[in-house]
Amino acid sequence: MRFVVKAFQSNVPEIAGNVQTVKHQGDYDEFIRKAAEDKRLVLVDFYANWCPPCKKLAPGYAKLSEEFLEPLFLKVDVDQSKDVSKSCGIKCMPTVLAYSDGKVVEKLEGATLNKIQDVITNLPTTPSGIRLFMQHDDEDTDWAAFRVSPAYIPGKKTN
């Protein structure tokens, strides 16, 4: 087993690594407000159960929520939460909105995992520029959380 633990950020909320379901506008607004206070990136997947591209995206979106600890991952069913999808101007699915400081900074219509990962790795999510990742050692089932500098983000080019 080979893990290198750089540092563990103790203020990671218990919901980190999970996708939260939003059903009401008030809850949505509260998630966005609280994340802005905490300087967290928010990703919101607007989907429908009958939508084939949404079904294809769902497992990968959940996996990203386990790999990237710091962003808050939300899901909104457009058929059950029409008020939320209407207030956000959702016209197609899947659409993923990215919020930073309480404002939409990216709107990915026809979202793909690559586009979502690009948003996560290219938008600043903390004042320090440090992001949290999960790393799994393929030889066993242990997980380790650690912080890395943006210069070491997988797939991100540095100057």
Catalytic residue numbers read 51, 54
Q: Are 101 and 38 in contact (CB under 8 A)?
A: no
Q: Are 79 and 134 in contact (CB under 8 A)?
A: no
As given in the structure block, the two tokens for residue 50 are 């009958």
Residues belonging to the chain: 159
SS (H, E, C) 39-55: CCCEEEEEECCCCHHHH
Match 């050692």 to its residue by tokens.
Answer: 137
- Whether the CA torsion 15, 18, 23, 25 is positive or negative: it is positive
Burial of 156 (0-12, 13-18, 19+ CB in 10 A): exposed
Give 68's DSSP letter. B
